[in-house]
Structure 1
């Protein structure tokens, strides 16, 4: 079997990370594993396994025939069977299929705003799905949406999985006191709810002034970013909250922290929580998306309601005070993730699906 992953960029995001994870994992399981990036390279470039065949298209426009034929040549020369397109890269996949009919397309849906999927409409995606042989959804809500909206009936739910990656040479020494650090890994977007996190940090600062917050993620330099940094100044949190931006690999900073949080307003099945658990960190996260499929009980994490400052502050206070509870909770979460969200189990199911389904089944217009 010969499979190529495709993604629009290698910025440090969930969909981008999963494209790299699949490409890397498949090198151990199939004859050929490739990765194509259409528009922009980024920090995840350094995480691509040396056995992955890599191509950057440098696509300039939505319809870029030079990029399409460059992709066609790569697929044809490497005798690729399946083009696995992540998120918005599906459009490029469909364009190349029009020139290379034998290619089978899998579309991988990583959509992260799940409050009301009934409002999610895209005629381009809908009619492009006529060319899909299969659809992967990262949570059950997206699967239900795909079944009801798309014109491909071969829809499968596969949760995200984590790849244990420690090869980065990037080393960051965190500010704050050792043994008293709280980490949040989330790009600076409104749905990640950093402003709420700052309110909590302000309350924790008064109770536990020696504890600090360490935030990692891409800064888009927009109005939300400006509001975030202004609020840090207004609340006088400059010695409590530290924002580092986006980094190649969070493993080395996770090992320096003691509690992990994710205060999102919306999620799918977030890789950040899986990464937290991989490093045996106790987690506090909001009750959104499919986080409850990871944090299944009070023994392996804390679930709070979004925007509930009292719950969040109380949960953090409990973990700050009770070190034994932190350690046990992190250990339990690690064991659960290793059992249910490992690369080995999900890749096995992925390949079984491809081999058994023959990618048949399509709705009629």
Structure 2
């Protein structure tokens, strides 16, 4: 079996991490694993296994015929059986399929705004779905949505998973050891950094020695500007730190004592899996499939989204109770090992591939 993971970029986002993790994990499980970044490279390029064959297309526009022809020739020359297209890369995969009917398309839906699926544009996706052999959803809401929208395409829920990151440690976090809160998310409005920052203003009244660390790509856009202006207005620039995109997430998590996710909308976030894999206690908003990972009083604290008071209260509770942090982190780690492990996911994924080719 020869499978190509197709992804738009290698920036440090959730879908991109999954594409790289799947390509790396397949390398020892199938005949040959491939990975293609279509539009842009990024920090995740360094994490691609040497056993994975890598291609960068440098696609310049939505319909780029040179990129289509190059990918087509690559698929044919490498005898690739399956194009596993992540997120919006389904369009390029479909164009290749139209010219090379032998190849099979598996589409992996990472759509993060699961609470707003009625507003999702689907016209092009609906047309391209006719050429999908199977679709994969990262949460149950997306699975239900796809089953209703694309009735001729079998759909499976396959959870995200996290793996150890062996990148060389480079990032040194500010603040006091043992009193750092980590928010691992790109600076997008969906991640709702603003509510988190406002909540942290309340947190500092009870726990003044703690600091908050925002790690994720800074797009230097209007939302990024609003984050920075909020920090300045609330006089939090000595307590909340922005680092941008970093590749050494393992090293960053190891320097942290508490993980937080404040999203207004989610699928099944990689950040929560990474927190749990490395033994961080977690506070998360109750969006998407977060409740599959975080259960109040067992594996962490789950709070309503866009509620700064509830978020602050949960953070303070864990900051002031080390035993509770230890209990939650232990339980979350065990839960992930059982239900969201690499072995569990690849067993399901390989089963899907085999069905597609049979």
Distance across 2 between alignment mates of 1:81 and 1:249:
33
Distance across 2 between alignment mates of 1:213 and 1:122:
38
Distance across 2 between alignment mates of 1:105 and 1:96:
10
Distance across 1 between alignment mates of 2:308 and 2:69:
53
1:112-154 CA-to-partner distances (Å, cap 9, x unmatched) read: 0011312223211101011111100111111111111125421
Distance across 1 between alignment mates of 2:19 and 2:131:
20
Distance across 2 between alignment mates of 1:199 and 1:232:
9
Q: What are the equivalent positions in structure 2 for 1:1-365 lying under 5 Å apart?
A: 1-150=1-150, 152-166=152-166, 168-356=167-355, 358=357
Helix, strand or coil for the counterpart of 1:115? Answer: helix
Is this contact kept in 2: 1:24–1:52, CA < 8 A? Answer: yes
List runs of 5+ in structure 2 lacking aligned partners.
Answer: none
CA root-mean-square deviation: 1.2
Helix, strand or coil for the counterpart of 1:4? Answer: strand
Is this contact kept in 2: 1:130–1:151, CA < 8 A? Answer: no
Distance across 2 between alignment mates of 1:193 and 1:318:
21
Is this contact kept in 1: 2:295–2:301, CA < 8 A? Answer: no
Distance across 2 between alignment mates of 1:122 and 1:304:
31
TM-score with structure 2 length normalisation? 0.97
Instruction: Report the Cα offset of residue 356 of structure 1.
Output: 3.4
Instruction: Report the Cα offset of residue 357 of structure 1.
Output: 5.2
Give the total of aligned pairs.
Answer: 358
Is this contact kept in 1: 2:24–2:48, CA < 8 A? Answer: yes
Is this contact kept in 2: 1:132–1:152, CA < 8 A? Answer: no
Helix, strand or coil for the counterpart of 1:237? Answer: coil
Instruction: Report the Cα offset of residue 12 of structure 1.
Output: 0.6
1:235-263 CA-to-partner distances (Å, cap 9, x unmatched) read: 11011101101101311010001011001
Helix, strand or coil for the counterpart of 1:244? Answer: strand
Is this contact kept in 2: 1:260–1:276, CA < 8 A? Answer: yes
Distance across 2 between alignment mates of 1:122 and 1:313:
37
Is this contact kept in 2: 1:183–1:257, CA < 8 A? Answer: yes
Helix, strand or coil for the counterpart of 2:268? Answer: coil
1:172-212 CA-to-partner distances (Å, cap 9, x unmatched) read: 11110111111101111111111111111111122221111
Is this contact kept in 1: 2:104–2:356, CA < 8 A? Answer: no
List runs of 5+ in structure 1 lacking aligned partners.
Answer: 360-365
Instruction: Report the Cα offset of residue 358 of structure 1.
Output: 4.6
Instruction: Report the Cα offset of residue 28 of structure 1.
Output: 1.1
